[in-house]
Amino acid sequence: MAIKRIMVIGAGQMGGGIAQVAAQTGFEVVLNDIDRAFIDKRLAFIGGLLDKNVAKGRMTEEDKAATLARLIPSTDLKDAADVDFVVEAATENLAVKEKIFRILDEVARPDVILASNTSSLPITELAAVTGRPELVIGMHFMNPVPVMKLVEVIRGIATSDATYATVKELAETMGKVPVEVNDYPGFISNRVLMPMINEAIYCVYEGVAEPEAIDTVMKLGMNHPMGPLTLADFIGLDTCLAIMEVLYEGFADSKYRPCPLLRKMVKAGWLGRKSGKGFFDYSS
């Protein structure tokens, strides 16, 4: 089946990025969220990014207009009845995602692949709430989606070879580099990244050094483009905590125990960039 029309569920940072890249590639994109105002805000943001691309000579005004014309707002999951592929990028909560997948399974055509952009939740469990587990897969894009090349393609226990092959080809068509991963907590990216961030937080918690010093060591000593604490603030400390909880619960191993300081900061509402304060101050 040729994929021409894609639904992206969730008009947040990740969903909006996926929708933008898919539309720039030439796909019709149904961008779904529960709030039309939220979709309109995301479309305006995408328009601003495309304006910058035009100003830098990366695309023409005609290409920009064509990309925006391919983005179709939707506030009803029943619109999945008319698409060839679905990528869910809703909040990182298993119960929320399972509810969405149950609805999609009823609405979407029986041959349509249902992909999740989850960064840590089990694809096998999402697949199990549908009647098409062989057509359920993980498609974990990196943030910011228009810039980052990697897509983790996560196979649940029932995911078919044909489904994997289709998603791999789709990722490549969108200009991404797909990497095949099996369904374990955190996959590859967050299983490696989040414990590093958590350990950096422990260094703050135990008084080893100040956040700026820790980030400087990792940037200048390990050649990381961004320090782990700056990255944690960028991701969102609530998201970091949620992923660490998935790892801790999934492996039942104390090495994944979230740092108490991370829990305390999340409870205080110090979530990083999006709240104006995390390990660094973003209020000014």
Is there a binding annotation on residue 10?
yes
Catalytic residue among 119, 120, 198, 275: 119
Question: What is the phi/psi pair of residue 213, to 5°?
Answer: -65, -40
24 is in an annotated binding site: no
Q: How far is CA 60 from CA 21, 49, 56, 65, 274, in A?
A: 16, 13, 10, 9, 32
| Structure-block tokens of residue 274 | 């999006």
- 125 annotated among ligand-binding-site residues: no
Q: Is 274 marked as a binding-site residue?
A: yes
Instruction: Please tell me whether 33 is known to bind a ligand.
Output: yes
Q: Is 156 annotated as a binding residue?
A: no
Residue of 74, 116, 140, 275 with catalytic role: 140
Does the annotation list 41 as a binding residue? no
d(CA 219, CA 203): 16
The answer, yes or no, to whether the previous bond of 144 is cis (omega within 30 of 0) is yes
Question: Is 53 annotated as a binding-site member?
Answer: no
119-151 burial string, b = 16+ CB within 10 Å, else e?
bbbbbbbbbebbebbebbbbbbbbeebbeeeeb
Whole-angstrom distance, CA of residue 82 vs CA of residue 85:
9
Q: Which of 32, 116, 120, 190 is flagged as catalytic?
A: 190
**Is 265 among the annotated ligand-binding positions?**
no
Task: Determine whether 152 is an active site residue.
Answer: yes
Q: Quick check: helix, strand or coil at residue 4? A: coil
89 labeled binding residue: no
For residue 201, which of 157, 259, 147 has the smallest C-alpha distance? 259
First-to-last C-alpha distance (Å) of the chain: 51
Instruction: Report the C-alpha gap between 98 and 126 in whole angstroms.
Output: 6
The active-site residue, picked from 88, 117, 152, 198, is 152
Decide if 189 is catalytic.
no
Q: Is 224 a catalytic residue?
A: no
The CA distance from 67 to 72, in Å, is: 11
32 catalytically annotated: no
Question: What is the token pair recorded at 252?
Answer: 């039942």
Instruction: Give the residue ranges of the annotated binding site for NAD(+).
Output: 10-15, 33, 92, 97, 119, 143, 274
Supply the residues annotated as catalytic. 119, 140, 152, 190
Instruction: Give the residue ranges of the annotated binding site.
Output: 10-15, 33, 92, 97, 119, 143, 274
